[in-house]
Amino acid sequence: MLISLSEIMNTKDKVEQIFAPIEMEKFIFDGESYEFAWKDPVSLTITNLGNKELLIEGSVKLSLIIFCSRCLKKLEYSMDIDLCKEIDFKRTEEERAEDLDEANYIIGYNLDVDILIKGEIIIALPMRLLCSDDCKGICMHCGTNLNEGSCDCDNTVLDPRMSAIRDIFNNFKEV
């Protein structure tokens, strides 16, 4: 959703409260697509600080469907996102992008809420998410979920540096 900031910029000390829906259907990051389990509208407070500066404060609650890093079980990951951004319109878009590391969520005098929230979700995402602390994962050979049962696969992990010696013993073993 695009929010026009030009009216707020024209009135000194103006404060605008906006509830903006998140319009993206899926969150796409790093080649992965995550569905939303639910998402509340973004509550934004935009304040004109004067001297062509804006303060954007906001919060949103949402939940993504993410897979366990070990066993690939579907999980619901809830997030409470709070944000506070100060935008200086005296600077060019390139200067603002360099200084604030923003992903161009300000386009001219418009605020793109989806791009703003996408950046905040990226920051809030965990590196790894597990269904439980004692998750056993899946079998490397047959793909069985080891949390639900065991398999009969040989799970002996051999050191690849010893493969030459193993070959010698396999070729010259006595029958």
* Per-residue pLDDT of the chain in tens (175 residues, 90 and over written 9): 889 888 888 888 889 999 999 999 999 988 889 999 999 999 999 999 988 889 999 999 999 999 999 999 999 999 999 999 888 888 777 776 676 555 578 888 889 999 999 999 998 998 889 999 999 999 888 888 889 988 888 777 778 888 888 888 888 766 4
The tokens describing 34, both together, are 């995550």
Question: 110-112 and 2-4 as β-strands: parallel, antiparallel, unpaired?
Answer: antiparallel
- pTM score of the predicted model: 0.77
- Sorted by sequence, the CB contacts under 8 Å of residue 133 that are 6+ apart come out as none
Q: Which among 71, 74, 67 has a CA at the least distance from the CA of 149?
A: 71
